[in-house]
Amino acid sequence: MLMDDDPETVEGFVTLAKALFYNLTLLRAFEKACPDRPRRSSPKSYLSRCLEDRKAITKAHREGLFLQMRRQMPHLTDEALENRLILINERFRVAVRQVRVKHARRPPHQPDRTDDADSVLTGLLSHLPDLLEVLAETFLREAPDGSLRVRSRLIAHWQDLILVVPPLLISSAWIHRRILPQPEALDDYSNRVDAIRRMTRWLCDSTLPVDDDPTLDHLCRQHGLDEIHMHLMGTTEAEKIWCDALRRPQIVVGELIKGRSKTRESGLRLSIGSGVDRLLRQEDSQLTADLLLARVNEAATLKALLLFHARGASEQELTDDMPMPSDFCTQERRRGLHALPSNLPLVVKESWHLCRILALFDKPEKRASTWRVLWHYLLLRAQFCRLLVQQVGQIGFDQFQYITLNELRETSEADFAERFRQIERGHQRGVDFAEGRFAPKAEREKMVGLLGSILRGYIRFLDEDEQGEARPRKRAARYGSLSELVSLARRRETGETVPGVDAAIPGHRASMRWDMPPVSGRRLRLGLVVHFIKRNNHREQKTFVTAVSPRPPCRHLNMRRDAEKQARTLVAFLGEVSDLSHFIRGADAAANERHAGPEVLAPVFRILRRAGIQRFTYHAGEDFAHLASGLRAMFEAVSFLDLDAGCRIGHGTASGLSPEAWWAAIGNSTVLPTEDRLDDLVFARHLLLSNALLPERLALIDAEINRLSMLIYNDPYLTPDLLTEAWQLRHLDPLAWRFRGDDIDPHRRAEALLHAEAKRETRAAHRHFLRRHGVHSVDTMFTLRQMRDEAARGAAQMPVARGSDILDIDTLRMLQRCMLRILNQRRMAIETLPSSNVRISIHKRYEDHHSLNWLGLGAGSLRMPVDVVVGSDDPGIFATSLRMEYAQLMRCLRDECRNSNDPFDPFQKIEKICLDAKRFRF
């Protein structure tokens, strides 16, 4: 720890580091100085070109740094910004001296000339390793368990920092001072083994250290955390993907290049190009998929050159006949790991390389020749990682989805064992149980392949000790069928045979003790949740609202059919593979809730329920045009999907946000489709009537419902009561109205009976339900053209102003209370995901997170009983972990406790959340 780590100083260091690592002007100057990117060119000549044009590089550094500081502090004048930068630099130089005195290794630091303003910026260019060390000593410390931790009081600044600066760089700067105080000591093999052992305990199979809060350490030891909302695809940390990209650039970045044929993404209706392409240009206006591949190849050569110098090789070895960049990098990485123990964890290997590279800069003769190479390499590394992590300025679900669609994770995430190691965190072992979510496949072969990959990775993980050492017999490779993998995974969890499962495996010999695996020493246990993807087919939607014939037979036709195929394939496997249900615990629906409502997946959830799956969760109330729309999505999920005790709602942000805060964040008006506004009013009316609330508002709501109904349908017979009844029928499958009650298929038969019952009991409502889906043959009173025009008028956008909104603040608060009461009465929990919500929702800080309102704290509290559980969502994309999600929430609880007039025990609240996760896990 540095002597001066007050918040203002720490914030200054973070601002400086972000500006330095986001300096695209400097990156382009390096590329201009080295115009021929490395393919089969000589690394020696490439290195010489990198060292030319020093004045241009220095100029680009100064200008780019100031521009990035301006980007972070737009409210300051240039003079004020200059003064701030000079102050930050002065504090930085003081911190550098403190670090050097602490480690007592290098000569005393000679301060930059303070009478020359340019020297302030120029000096920073050559002090990159010093910056990493200052950040390391500011944020990191060794915990009593031997792991590397982030100081709890600084985790908000840390989280802001690592979105831009790859965290393993900072951790390695901390480590290299501890394992390389005397580099020659590592010539001895036993010293190297000891260093690797310490690094393994420091890093814990993760590039992201966790907090050092002893309260959470106790919680993890006493109870263990339960991960109840985590998508397996999106879990791998960015720097692990980077390591794979350096090894296989054509394959990893090739997935992004192959996706260029997608001219549009699934999010927007306007033809404005690909969202993934916009993601690249948001990061760098000149960045394309091809340029990214060239830069990764460039980085591979740069890293190889750094490792080449780190092992003290002679430049005479750099000949014109050198391998490709990735091969050159792999070659130097292997040489750098020579004479080290085998089976090193991935993060230990990478950190070892970084430590050796940073050690170069303790030698003045090496520093002069390699610091520009290091700068260039780290700028490329940081840019690649930012494409995998959602940034502060990337607000909303669409921006998140572009990251999931860029395919940079696709190849690396084909193997699952590393993800389970990352969750377990070596000897820390803080997570007791994890629900991993995956998207089911419609094709049988793909489903087998996906489940087989997950289970093989899980078995390999279970068959290791906390150091990642595998047993000699590779059991995961010995079993091929899905039944065999299920059996082995269960036996590895318990050390016992599984009745009815092992007996079904040909050749199984339960009586032979040598064939019985011992109980795994790993703490983490795995459950799987299938999550269906909400999609919006723009062509289908456009045809539905513009064409008379041919026209889709209902709304969301393609998604309904695809989801049904996936569900039927899954159900077939559950029937064929004994005990697969031990791992597949429940179902979910993920992706953008604006693309499809719960009604689309209602028939699919009924198929799964008939197959024995009884636990469900659903992403709802996360991203919405109007707060009432988010609340309606939550209600529809509960009602249309028949969610009940033990089920959960994912996110549920709309039920926790303060309506005043929501309006303040979006402005004085919002825009949404007219039919969505009508649905919101019908929902609000239903909830208020059902609970006998706000009778004075009902007349206004009824009047607006009638107005919008006439605007869309021009039908005076559509009363608010009839619209409500028709809305409540949306759980029906609009494709099933033709099915017969004696159909041979049990699912079709069940859906036909639901339609028959609805038609019998609420004929007019059922008729309007089909009319909304454009089903003409049932009701010849309405022509196809008329139905098309109704759909087009419903899709038209309409503004809703805060000042004239019928659903005013009081009404929205009452709807929130009603929704929370429904969840409580049904014994359902809400999954809250702090980092995900801060990036996707309206929050600018963790301190503003709506979960505090659910917990009965803060001015926006509704004082309603709510069961809240915590998850990490996509920890790789949000640069977090389950432990850090608890840490962020714990910090907010402590802050609220200090400022509260009604003191409470933060630990009691966080412990209840932990125990609720055990009660509600699937």
**610 lies in some domain:** no
Domain assignment of residue 505, yes or no = no
pLDDT at 722: 98
What pLDDT digit, counting tens, does each position of 49-66 carry? 555 577 888 899 999 999
Instruction: Please check the confidence at residue 861 and state whether its pLDDT lies above 80.
Output: yes
Residue written as token pair 């490395």: 38
- Does residue 420 lie within any of the structural domains? no
Given 405, 435, 466, which residue is the final one in a domain? 405
Burial grade of 456 (CB within 10 A; 0-12, 13-18, 19 or more): buried
24-33, 176-185, 315-324: range with lowest mean pLDDT? 315-324
From 386, 405, 424, the end of a domain falls on 405
Structural domain contains residue 705: yes
Q: Determine, yes or no, domain membership for 487.
A: no
Domain assignment of residue 397, yes or no: yes
Q: Is the pLDDT of residue 530 over 70?
A: yes
Q: What is the pLDDT of residue 536?
A: 86
> pTM surpassing 0.85?
yes
Query: Would you say residue 186 has pLDDT above 90?
Result: no
At residue 488, does pLDDT exceed 70? yes
The β-bridge relationship of strands 797-801 and 669-673 is antiparallel
Tell me the backbone φ, ψ of residue 579, rounded to 5 degrees: 65, 15
Higher pLDDT among residues 496 and 834, named by residue: 834
Any domain includes 883? no
Q: Return the pLDDT at 418.
A: 96
* Helices and strands (H, E) in the chain, number of each type: 39, 13
pLDDT confidence tier of residue 511, bands split at 50, 70 and 90: very low
What are residue 237's phi and psi, to 5 degrees? -70, 150
Task: Summarize the confidence of residues 575-590 as an average pLDDT.
Answer: 94
DSSP character for 829?
E
pLDDT of residue 267: 62
Residues 95-117, mean pLDDT to the nearest whole number: 66
Over range 317-329, report the average pLDDT.
Answer: 71
C-beta of residue 164 within 8 angstroms of C-beta of residue 22 = yes
Identify the pLDDT of residue 109: 47
For residue 708, the tally of other CB atoms under 10 A from its CB is 22
What is the signed CA dihedral for 316, 319, 325, 329, rounded to 10 degrees? -30
Q: Tens digit of pLDDT for each residue in 68-78?
A: 999 999 999 99
Q: Are 312 and 285 in contact (CB under 8 A)?
A: no
Number of domains in the chain: 2
Per-position DSSP letters for 210-268, written without gaps between them: EE--HHHHHHHHHT-EEEEEEESTT-S-HHHHHHHHHH-HHHHHHHHHHGGG--S-SS-
Q: Nearest to residue 502, comparing CAs of 518, 513, 486?
A: 486
- pLDDT at site 39: 45
Given this model, what pLDDT does residue 477 score?
52
514 pLDDT tier (thresholds 50, 70, 90) = very low
- Residue 40 per-residue DSSP state: S
Nearest to 451 by CA among 592, 459, 136, 738: 459
* Distance of alpha carbon 643 from the chain centroid: 25
Of 370, 405, 440, the residue at which a domain comes to its end is: 405
Q: Are the C-beta atoms of residues 46 and 171 closer than 8 Å to each other? A: no
Give yes or no for residue 272 having a pLDDT over 60: yes
CA dist 26 and 231 (Å) reads 36
Instruction: Tell whether the model's pLDDT for residue 506 goes beyond 60.
Output: no
User: Which string of b and e fits 518-527 if b means at least 16 CB within 10 Å?
Assistant: eebebbbbbb
The edge-to-edge listing of strands for the beta sheet with 867-870 is: 225-231, 431-438, 525-533, 584-590, 615-620, 648-651, 829-832, 867-870
Of residues 339 and 754, more confidence is placed in 754
Residue 692 has which token pair? 């006998």
Q: Looking at 508-522, 754-768, 771-785, which range is the least confident one?
A: 508-522
- Tens digits of per-residue pLDDT, 424-454? 999 999 999 999 999 999 999 999 999 999 9
Question: What is the chain's mean pLDDT, rounded?
Answer: 89
Give residue 787's domain range.
669-801
Whether 605 is covered by a domain: the verdict is no
- Among 154-163, 534-543, 888-897, whose mean pLDDT is lowest? 534-543
At 495, is the pLDDT very low, low, confident or very high (cuts 50, 70, 90)?
confident
| Distance (Å) of CA 691 to CA 697, 810, 854 | 13, 15, 21
Helix (H), strand (E), coil (C) string for 452-477: HHHHHHHHHHHCECCCCCECCCCHHH
Q: Which helix (H) or strand (E) holds 809?
A: helix 809-825
Identify any residues that bridge with 786 across adjacent strands, giving them in sequence order. none
Indicate the SS3 state at residue 573: helix
Q: What share of the chain is helix, strand, coil (3-state, %, to 5)?
A: 60, 10, 35
